Amino acid sequence: MDEIIAKVGPEQSIELVEYHHHSGKTVSLGHMTPQDGAYLARGMLACAVALCGPDPPQVGTVIADAPLPVQRWATRRSDDGLVLTVTIQSGTELTFWVPRSSVRQSRGSNA
């Protein structure tokens, strides 16, 4: 099964790529700034939340401006990966862990 993944692009950009599991090759879908990536991620998260509700929106509905009220955030390295901790206004801490095994090193444009 193929999937769309993000990888670090040139000049501190984010590159969206289609990863073909059967061949191990990637096809670039374009680059974006880290800020654009954050807005895209926020929009995708908002759409996912809206689709999980009891009355999902119709096809074509734009779910705009659904901010995540971040009070503070921190990153750290662990023995087996990278950790991002985000604290939102309610005091809830969200922890995202990226295991070392998930970080694929690029071997040129086809990795």
pLDDT tens digits, one per residue of 12-36: 999 999 988 888 888 999 999 999 9
pLDDT tens digits, one per residue of 48-86: 888 988 999 999 998 877 777 889 999 999 888 899 999
Q: How far apart are CA 40 and CA 35, in angstroms?
A: 9
Question: How many alpha carbons lie under 13 Å from residue 51 in its C-beta half-sphere?
Answer: 10
Q: How far apart are CA 35 and CA 68, in angstroms?
A: 14
Domain boundaries, the chain: 68-100
pLDDT higher than threshold 60 for residue 107 = no
Nearest CA-CA partner of 11 in 27, 37, 34: 34
